[in-house]
Structure 1
Amino acid sequence: DTPGHVDFAYEVSRALKACEGAILVVDATQGIEAQTISNLYQAIDQDLEIVPVLNKIDLPSSDPEGVGQQIVDLIGCDKEDILTVSGKTGEGVPALLEAIVERIPGPKQETEKPLKALIFDSIFNTYRGSVAYVRVFEGVLKKGEAFKFMANKQEYNAEEIGFLKMSYQPTKELRAGDVGYVIGSVKSLQDVRVGDTITTVKNPAEHPISGYQEAKPMVFSGIFPTQSEDFEDLRAALEKLQLNDASLTYEPETSKALGFGFRAGFLGLLHMEIVQERLDREFDIDIITTVPNVQYEVHLEEGGVIEVDNPSQMPEVGDIDKIYEPYIKASIITPADYIGPIMKLCQERRGVYINQMFMQNNRVEITYELPMAEVVFDFYDKLKSGTRGYASLDYEFIEFRPGHLVRLDILLNGDQVDALSSITHRDKAYYQGRKVCAKLKELIPRQQFEVAVQAAIGSRVIARDSVRALRKDVTAKCYGGDISRKRKLLEKQKEGKKRMKQVGSVEIPQEAFLAVLSMDDED
């Protein structure tokens, strides 16, 4: 079934590796979407048997004839091979179950070979350690037998093995073709990696299972606990999340403004929001996330290339020869009525038009090449709102290309706030700098001295706002008489404020960080 968001195409690839066949479910009212095509190609690459199915045929707006023809054009099957079902009424479901048995081949029974079992998912049990969900491709794993992970060579005993049904169903052995679970008191969360291969210690396989690709993070952001004493709790929470979300990566980092935290990599902005939500709900940890960035390639003047996903790692302007940013090829399928708004959105995001192809049912596929930095943040939301939810998006990385990129720094009284630095296109830097300065001016509490809020590229300030000083009436205690007494007090206050400005530090409230980091184009 077409997933709702391109961030989770990776979840589909994990499941496909454990199967012999797939049911291609297409909505009879919506037709084929960009993600349908992407996932179908993944299934074909894995050499799976495809059973095409039209769903929601009970709805008055369904078009089984037209959408059926789209499927025929896409996978080259006969129209008679396409099954029609209704998940709501149950119509056609018995025929679908029969088709699964008839069309999808059984797994190969290669039990005489050394054990090869692919880990396609895992969860953490507080009492029993990591539970690995596996698909056995070759060989047999018996209860109590010693096994090892081929990636890191760590060895454990299979204390319990079994099948995955509505609950765990223990058994004596898992054979080639079985899908089940393995419990071996694995307390180290790093040992169980999704995509790794399990084999026996006694008769190990020579090579792990090939063709399984690890997910590559697209978006990077700093995650910091709001309370510094929660740092170790945050580390433990990220370890547990990573256990069944292999696409999440993290490493420790420090920030002058926010203290100790982690630099985390995500598949996209929605994935990042879900991780934040899970940290809050499941582990009750309040966090601050910094401005998200994609990974850039920086070519240095002296030769050499470095990869940068954190603005604080960006070298000085004089040391940089060129900055290369990742580009993706985006495929958008939409009703023809929305071609205009989509093209306008892509042009605003520095897109390069490639082509458009008209399909059946008044639908069109538009292809653009876009900088990934313009897509991973709010492009998907803007696309959906601009087309009333009808457009669908799929994209793939193509290459790194040179871009006019700069590091935008935010300074308070001349001190850089590293957590608010970002990498942006030169054409957008002034607009973004003004926006951040204006927001901080509203949110930073007034001090006894004036606070200068500046946006700068290198040593050049491009935008500035000031938080006005609180006025303290030092002349209130004076009564009538000579003006020189009042002037003396005002001069003394002026000197004091000057000294305060030099030594006084400005505390940025947490809500100011959150407001700046969650700003969108409308702010």
Structure 2
Amino acid sequence: MAKVAAPKQIRNFCIVAHIDHGKSTLADRLLEFTGTVAKREMQAQLLDDMQLERDRGITIKARAVRMAYVRDGVEFEMNLIDTPGHVDFHYEVSRSLACCEGAILVVDAAQGVEAQTLANAFAAMNAGLTIVPIINKIDLVNARVDEVLVEMEQTLGIDPSTVLKVSAKTGIGIQELCDALIDRIPPPVSELEAPLQAMVFDSHYDDYRGAITYVRVMAGKVKKGEKIRFLYTNSTHEVVEMGQFVPHKRACDALEAGQVGYLICNIKSLDLVHIGDTVTLPGDRAAPALPGYKEPKRMVYCGLYPSDGQDFTELRDALEKLAINDPSFEFEPETSDALGFGFRCGFLGLLHMEIVQQRLETESDVDLVQTAPNVTYEVVMRGGEVRMIHKPQDVPDSGNIEEFRQPIVRVSLIQPTDFIGPVMKLCQDRRGIQVRTEYLSPTRTMLVYDIPLAEVIYDLHDKLKSATRGYGTMDYELKGYEPADLVRMDILVNAKRVDALSVICHRGDADRRGRGVCKRLKAEIERHMFEVAVQAAIGTRVIARETVPAMRKNVTAKCYGGDITRKRKLWAKQKEGKKRMKSIGSVDIPQKAFMAVLDTGEE
């Protein structure tokens, strides 16, 4: 069948940039300029509609919106997908790239090319998208437009003459940007007469309408009332409603090839919608499946437990709802001696973990206890079997381990040249191996290091910001697993091992970390009627100990003067009572104590 060009007036594009370079503000100006949103309805960061996004000032979920732009009497349909900028949400970006033909690359006029700018730009180029580069915030007093143009040419190979100068805040250059989008980004090429083939790129669950599926139609068309089939789950449904986001849902009768919109099919089961799935027609007319997305790699795991054991089922329902909206997060049930029944959850990074925890507490009103996060390790057993270790409790006895491997990431750190020394020391303290140094411009440098992931996720970003006075940025990607001298460090409270406090660390750091954790726990655990011993141990060898003293009553207060044997008798009796209490007493461990194991003991 001959290919028919889809309506030439459609343009699908996304916005990619480093965090805080003005993507959401640029999206606001485009919505305002094209008249998609009336002036009176306008508010800052309109597409960041999740309360958490507004509170933290970051984009967490990609959002799709349709805009109409009239030029020379011709109306163009522009579908924008706004994407997050933080490294943890790179998976959201990769899904958006699959639905677009072009990308606006935003670079801050004051801060220049940052680590995440490079990562997202290369992702867009590798996906074969047409890049429309812009320099944003040209209205700032400290804008360095000419220097930033040089940086973009050196790092990304972008021709300076193609870069547009824009201010998303004041609206300068927005019309030129809209014209460039229409002139430079190719229209979607697809077959209108072919059978329906659409890509599911997002979904969320509505309590009244069921699952709402966001799709980009690649070929054919879909009409209201038609039967459609999801290939991954092989389930057939009837389309009850469909439409586009402008930016709120607006129903329409059909979606054609090249368009982006949503489908509602009264799907009540959360297992039936999979992001990356292909929607097509039932029966013999089905189109082949589209190549979906690479399964995201969860890098950080932690346990989530309801603080009240009765809330287990509520927590499970809340996690299921969240997983349909955020497929990069996974969970499975687990039990802990200290905390009871809960879930082991996998995340893309530490910010992702924090966001999921906050969404659970605000959207589902579940009170949580969270254990310390840890990364995934590989263990090669004596028999040659390779095991993935998601939690320290799963580490086998050291006698059965042939080789212990840890995940290594390649970290790119961009900072002003003045701060190279402190940043190199920071990486070396975390067992980093230097790969190369690049000068992006006379004042800015990129250092590339291979560092164990466990050393990166907890506080490298915070320490980098402190060492560079806020000017340093970083991005990382997984390189693979490498052998290391690792051990499992257990924490014993009152001679009982607390499984939720175990950590995997390097043998050389174990003594220092053990002392640090014991000191922190001594401060966190409240005093009981008996003394509490807090110990760190590797196998059977105790490497650190602190004692939480008992609360004591002055039993000799009424003995003034007189015989010392009377006092000794009372002290012995008290000691006996404390001993009995210690054997049957249980120690309450507060939530803050579970995060104490992250203490590296540096201070």
Deviation at 1:470, TM superposition (A): 2.9
Map of 1:390 onto structure 2: 471
Q: Tell me, in whole angstroms, the C-alpha distance in 2 between the residues paired with 1:450 and 1:368.
A: 46
Q: Is 2:393 the partner of 1:312?
A: yes
After TM superposition, list the pairs within 5 Å mapping 1:198-237 onto structure 2.
198-203=279-284, 205=286, 207-210=288-291, 212-237=293-318
Query: What residue ranges of structure 1 are gaps of 5+ in the alignment?
Result: none
1:2 paired residue among 17, 28, 31: 17
Deviation at 1:70, TM superposition (A): 2.9
Map of 1:251 onto structure 2: 332
Map of 2:60 onto structure 1: none
Deviation at 1:220, TM superposition (A): 0.4
Map of 2:150 onto structure 1: 69
Alignment TM-score, normalising by the size of structure 1: 0.94
Q: Which deviates further from its counterpart, 470-479 or 51-60?
A: 470-479
Query: What residue ranges of structure 2 are gaps of 5+ in the alignment?
Result: 1-15, 20-85
How many correspondences in the alignment?
522
CA deviation profile, 1:284-335 (whole Å, cap 9, x unmatched): 2221111111100011123311100101111112221211001011111221
Structure 1 residues 297 and 210: CA distance shift in structure 2, 3 A = same
Deviation at 1:97, TM superposition (A): 0.6
Supply the AA of the counterpart residue of 1:72: E
Structure 1 residues 177 and 432: CA distance shift in structure 2, 3 A = same
Supply the AA of the counterpart residue of 2:536: A
Q: Tell me, in whole angstroms, the C-alpha distance in 2 between the residues paired with 1:511 and 1:392.
A: 29
Q: Tell me, in whole angstroms, the C-alpha distance in 1 between the residues paired with 2:222 and 2:242.
A: 8
1:83 paired residue among 158, 161, 164: 164
CA deviation profile, 1:445-472 (whole Å, cap 9, x unmatched): 3333322111101111000111222334
Q: How well do the aligned residues superpose, as a CA RMSD in angstroms?
A: 2.2
Deviation at 1:483, TM superposition (A): 6.1
Supply the AA of the counterpart residue of 1:134: V
Map of 2:485 onto structure 1: 404
Assess if the C-alpha contact under 8 Å between 2:276 and 2:292 holds in 1: no
Map of 1:376 onto structure 2: 457
Q: Is 2:65 the partner of 1:50?
A: no
Q: Is 2:99 the partner of 1:18?
A: yes
1:124 paired residue among 181, 193, 205: 205
Q: Tell me, in whole angstroms, the C-alpha distance in 1 between the residues paired with 2:115 and 2:567.
A: 74
Q: Is 2:434 the partner of 1:357?
A: no
Structure 1 residues 465 and 79: CA distance shift in structure 2, 3 A = closer
CA deviation profile, 1:232-278 (whole Å, cap 9, x unmatched): 11112212222222211111111111111111111111111111222
Assess if the C-alpha contact under 8 Å between 1:290 and 1:517 holds in 2: no
Structure 1 residues 32 and 481: CA distance shift in structure 2, 3 A = closer
Supply the AA of the counterpart residue of 1:150: L
Map of 2:7 onto structure 1: none
Q: Tell me, in whole angstroms, the C-alpha distance in 2 between the residues paired with 1:439 and 1:202.
A: 63
Assess if the C-alpha contact under 8 Å between 1:120 and 1:134 holds in 2: yes
Map of 1:109 onto structure 2: 190
2:247 paired residue among 166, 177, 180: 166
Q: Is 2:47 the partner of 1:32?
A: no
Structure 1 residues 147 and 479: CA distance shift in structure 2, 3 A = same
Map of 2:409 onto structure 1: 328
CA deviation profile, 1:106-161 (whole Å, cap 9, x unmatched): 11231232322111111111100110111111222221222222222232221111
Structure 1 residues 487 and 356: CA distance shift in structure 2, 3 A = closer
Q: Tell me, in whole angstroms, the C-alpha distance in 1 between the residues paired with 2:141 and 2:563.
A: 91
1:315 is paired with a residue whose SS is coil
CA deviation profile, 1:407-450 (whole Å, cap 9, x unmatched): 11111121101111111111221112112211222232333332
Structure 1 residues 453 and 83: CA distance shift in structure 2, 3 A = same
Structure 1 residues 463 and 84: CA distance shift in structure 2, 3 A = same
Q: Tell me, in whole angstroms, the C-alpha distance in 2 between the residues paired with 1:115 and 1:432.
A: 58
Supply the AA of the counterpart residue of 2:167: S
Deviation at 1:283, TM superposition (A): 2.0
2:229 is paired with a residue whose SS is strand
Supply the AA of the counterpart residue of 1:376: I
CA deviation profile, 1:71-114 (whole Å, cap 9, x unmatched): 33445454322211122232221111111111111112312323
Assess if the C-alpha contact under 8 Å between 1:268 and 1:377 holds in 2: no
1:240 paired residue among 321, 325, 333: 321
Structure 1 residues 503 and 49: CA distance shift in structure 2, 3 A = same
Structure 1 residues 36 and 476: CA distance shift in structure 2, 3 A = closer
2:455 is paired with a residue whose SS is helix
Map of 2:537 onto structure 1: 456
Deviation at 1:60, TM superposition (A): 3.2
Assess if the C-alpha contact under 8 Å between 1:297 and 1:308 holds in 2: yes
CA deviation profile, 1:40-97 (whole Å, cap 9, x unmatched): 1111121111111121222232232232233334454543222111222322211111
Deviation at 1:19, TM superposition (A): 0.7
Supply the AA of the counterpart residue of 1:43: A
Q: Tell me, in whole angstroms, the C-alpha distance in 1 between the residues paired with 2:324 and 2:495.
A: 43
2:587 is paired with a residue whose SS is coil
Supply the AA of the counterpart residue of 1:84: K
Supply the AA of the counterpart residue of 2:185: I
Map of 1:419 onto structure 2: 500
CA deviation profile, 1:378-415 (whole Å, cap 9, x unmatched): 11111122112222212111110011111111111211
Structure 1 residues 109 and 458: CA distance shift in structure 2, 3 A = same
2:151 is paired with a residue whose SS is helix
Supply the AA of the counterpart residue of 1:54: I
Q: Tell me, in whole angstroms, the C-alpha distance in 2 between the residues paired with 1:461 and 1:273.
A: 33
Supply the AA of the counterpart residue of 2:358: E
1:260 is paired with a residue whose SS is strand
Assess if the C-alpha contact under 8 Å between 2:434 and 2:450 holds in 1: yes
Q: Tell me, in whole angstroms, the C-alpha distance in 2 between the residues paired with 1:418 and 1:494.
A: 30
1:185 is paired with a residue whose SS is coil
